[in-house]
Chains A and B, each alone.
Chain A
Amino acid sequence: LLGQCLELSVSAALKQGQITPIELCQKCLSLIKKTKFLNAYITVTEEVALKQAEESEKRYKNGQSLGDLDGIPVAVKDNFSTSGIETTCASNMLKGYVPPYNATVVQKLLDQGALLMGKTNLDEFAMGSGSTDGVFGPVKNPWSYSKQFREKRKQKPRGEKEDSNWLITGGSSGGSAAAVSAFTCFAALGSDTGGSTRNPAAHCGLVGVKPSYGLVSRHGLIPLVNSMDVPGILTRYVDDAAIVLGILAGHDPKDSTTVQDPVKPFVLPNLTDVSKLCIGIPKEYLVPELSSEVRSLWSKAADLFESEGAKVIDVSLPHTSYSIVCYHVLCTSEVASNMARFDGLEYGHRCDIDVSTEAMYAATRREGFNDVVRGRILSGNFFLLKENYENYFIKAQKVRRLIANDFVNVFNSGVDVLLTPTTLSEAVPYLEFIKEDNRTRSAQDDIFTQAVNMAGLPAVSIPVALSKHGLPIGLQFIGRAFCDQQLLTIAKWFEKQVQFPVIQLQELLNDCSSILENEKLASVSLKQ
């Protein structure tokens, strides 16, 4: 069906001429229009995409395809710089800002012939866990309109407004997740600082990869926390994410924090035997707030590994509980520093006040940033004050080291990967989500994902099953630093075992005959 539009199979279809890049591009553009109400995209780059599709089509005709991504529609979170294309970070501060250069990861996708469909929505400057706090409004989770979810809701009392109970995507890369989930593209770039790729991936039934810190260039990614940010990848299948990661990974002379060692291409083997694996279950991740459904799926997943012969052991990450508060200090400090450049002088928003430079700065920043961003800047500047630096920033750095060492100890004890939940529960309705403020929400929602960023480790969220409400639930695998390939190999095996159902959006898109044509693609798959 729809979901079998594997990138790999689409690649094959393109290669065999069953569909052309222009046709594919047009199909996705038409889906973008039909799902506009999801608010997944801030900017749709129709002209750019069609032009790229034309070029791709020429290459295919001449037998000069650039590879697996040639002609494949992709989307990019709107905090990656795109040359000549507005890059807003969903903030008034950068409305109208058109970067003169491409982020390295964007350039790499384009160099492979990928078609850029547009820039996706997010929380302002990626600060949030719902994709609800951007200046362009919240992103709606496509699963709110899925057949699976709607059927379960039929029992609900009538009279309720049809659209009032839509679900959040999670965040902050919710636009990218919604874009892939609603079939408007085959892969999307997110960013992941505390879980911003894995969280929406879990809520939208997608694979969300957070690569090892230093494996993928951050040049052109507008930073949230430089020491934790990584470009993330959202796809429907692990193989697709591996293809994209293989293309993005590697040293970038423009990012001094990328590893120098050459990165081998990612080819994921089909794992048949997991009996030599050791899976760690961190006991600190079993928190009271964890929903019983997620808990039970987590436990089933562990059983699955065990029944296939893997060694499954309880492990301890004793400093986990300090992670959130530690993250808060480090994150806000770096935010205060990184946001200092937005002063209205060189680019971005500038207020009308011109009585003095200082007054201009103040008004520009007041108008440009939302409350969440301003709150973090304020906290961060407090932590960085000379008299507070030792008590907050230095201590947080030390705690961060302890958290990272927790993982080192566990992996040194022979554990190959850790298995954890990605989120506390399934996606919640928007109206429920906004009952709590951004900070509280972020603190709750990042609980399973954020220590990974502190430690720079690779992690992936894999969709496992639907909840009793018909909503996706994801589990997370955490790997050793720079063992991204091993991590994805295990995730791929797991993905195959759980057979997560494809989102059924036919009702939503019922007048979209082009979707049905996509069924043809299903018959052509590289996976035989």
Chain B
Amino acid sequence: MAAPVLRWGCPGTCRAIAWVYGVPRRRRGAWTGSTSSWIRGQSSLAQEPLHTSRKPRKGEHKWAAVVGLEIHAQISSNSKLFSGSQVCFAAPPNSLVSFFDASLPGTLPVLNRRCVEAAVMTGLALNCHINKKSLFDRKHYFYADLPAGYQITQQRLPIAVNGSLTYGICVGKRRSQVTTRTVRVKQIQLEQDSGKSLHDDLRSQTLVDLNRAGIGLLELVLEPDLSCGEEAATAVRELQLILQALGTSQANMAEGQLRVDANVSVHHPGEPLGVRTEVKNLNSIRFLAKAIDYEIQRQIKELENGGEILNETTLTTARFMPEPNLPPLLLYDTTSLPAGADSQQVINVDQIRERLPELPSVTRERLIQQYGMLPEHSFTLLNEVGLLEFFQNVIKETRAEPKKVTSWVLNTFLGYLKLQNLAVRERPRQQHVELVFEELWKNEGKTPAQIVSEKKLELMQDQEALEQLCRSVMQGHPEVVMDVKKGNPRAINRLIGLVRKATLGRADPAVIKAILEKQLSCHDSSCPPA
């Protein structure tokens, strides 16, 4: 299976990936273990609730929702948080497991410097206070994919606290204006990821993959300053852009590098907060927004119908203990750096601050200043994966006025992609687009269609020619065909790539795929390979 691509903002293209992420911090009480139960408050477990909201009076004023987020971001690092095991998505099960990861008795944690730097960098980018001394703790619970029986985390004294995340949200009648809002960042802590449990109900067995066990996570706790799904989604998207700009996490939700749990409650403004429920295990930003809004509506409906909100998650608490095998994590700045300190042994926060790359907010400001762009346009350019890079390439290639390029990229080009359900990276070959745009600029009265046709840039639609191409590609690459037949789901993508290359990128991959699949199945049934 190809790695699913996150395409934020392209309606209809977000795919739901059914994937169970065991999130270690949050397992309490009954394990539900399936994505279908991401709304915990809905559970009908027969347990006495600890808190219940009072019943609302009829005809009362309107409701307000309060949303807080806990976000786990997998740190982009070659090795795990406390061991030298490699970190790699989709490696064969249990192939990236050190003795420590498997919790062999007598093994000890050794802190990965890269993970600490990533945490500091993220903390600085989110305006946090960096704690010069932070501590590690063990959080105990029994679960099959947690080999040691505890997770090493930073419960008492995390590495970064008291920050803020500013994000832009569309307002106004046509939602065309952008206004900025801020959510407070309570803390950022370093902790270990758990392994993965795969429950095979048919054979009633659980398979455990420890590749993920021990990968470094940044847990970011956002204060409940958000009020709806959209705000939460936009804040998470901004965080995602920041993490990606910093390089501290790839933050790909579909690959589980960014996992979001939301605490949701509703109340009447001016009154005490309501009972929280958790919305968790979401694998896309769009679903996050939808799930939060759904939960808000559900709670309001429940309360208006005289019901009450249950929260069973406070019933059990994990046991904590200081991690005795790790000394306190000490950080320095240029003034506190001990004289003659080995630079390999100490981390200088000031040095990391100097290395901070341009953050998305600064990039937007630059776009606005440099190209006279509207703020909302700068947001769109950054939010669409690859769009900014594309925009900058077009700007480089043409003498067109930046405002025109902006308008063309955001309206014509993006609109066309959305119509075709394509992500930016799946656009026609870049040179073609830029070429067409350059020709258009010459203003010789030609339509884009004419240019495309003249320059032989149009989509190849000749079915017969395509089938012929597919056949010859398959003949030319029997090893790839064999791979497909052996069941490697990725092999067909290689064939598609080869065919597209042969068409100079002018064929629709979906059409090629259909042809290839047809030809392959024919191969299977009646035309065995020689």
Contact = CB atoms under 8 A, between A and B. Distances in A.
A399 to B, nearest CB: 15
Contact of A219 (B108, B317, B345): B108
Interface in A93-114: 94, 97, 99-101, 103
Interface centre among A94, A218, A260, A340 (most CB of B within 10 A): A340
Given A100-B99, A389-B320, A256 B106 contact: no
Contacts of B142: 340, 343, 358, 361
Which interface class (under 10, 10 to 19, 20 to 34, 35 or more) fits A?
A: 35 or more
Contacts of A94: 105
Interface in A373-402: 381, 384-386, 389, 393
A476 B144 CA distance: 45
A156 to B, nearest CB: 44
Interface residues of B, number: 30
Interface string B90-115: 00000000010011111111110000
A103 B147 CA distance: 20
Interface in A216-248: 218-223, 225-227
Contact of A341 (B144, B148, B320): B148
Contact of B104 (A226, A337, A347): A347
Contacts of B109: 256
A219 B140 contact: no
Contact of A227 (B103, B149, B324): B324
Given A357-B206, A385-B319, A340 B327 contact: no
B208 interface: yes
Q: Main secondary structure on chain A at its contact with chain B?
A: loop
Contacts of A100: 99, 104
A81 interface: yes
Given A346-B147, A381-B319, A103 B106 contact: yes
A99 B149 contact: no
B106 A334 contact: no
Contacts of B326: 256-257
A333 B138 CA distance: 12
Interface in A65-123: 80-81, 87, 89, 94, 97, 99-101, 103
A341 B108 contact: no
Contacts of B437: none
B319 A384 contact: yes
A51 interface: no
A81 B105 contact: yes
Interface in B184-206: 206
Nearest to A357: B144
B320 A255 contact: no
B150 interface: yes
A254 interface: yes
Contact of B111 (A87, A256, A334, A341): A256
A260 B341 CA distance: 12
A220 B106 contact: yes
28 contacts: A80-B106, A81-B106, A89-B105, A97-B105, A99-B106, A101-B99, A103-B106, A218-B108, A221-B106, A222-B106, A227-B324, A256-B110, A256-B111, A257-B324, A257-B325, A334-B321, A337-B150, A337-B321, A339-B149, A340-B142, A343-B144, A343-B149, A346-B102, A346-B104, A347-B105, A384-B140, A384-B321, A386-B319
A-B interface, 6 closest residue pairs, ranked by CB to CB distance from nearest: A340-B149, A226-B324, A384-B319, A227-B324, A222-B105, A220-B106
Interface of B: 99, 102-111, 138, 140, 142, 144, 147-150, 206, 208, 317, 319-321, 324-327, 345
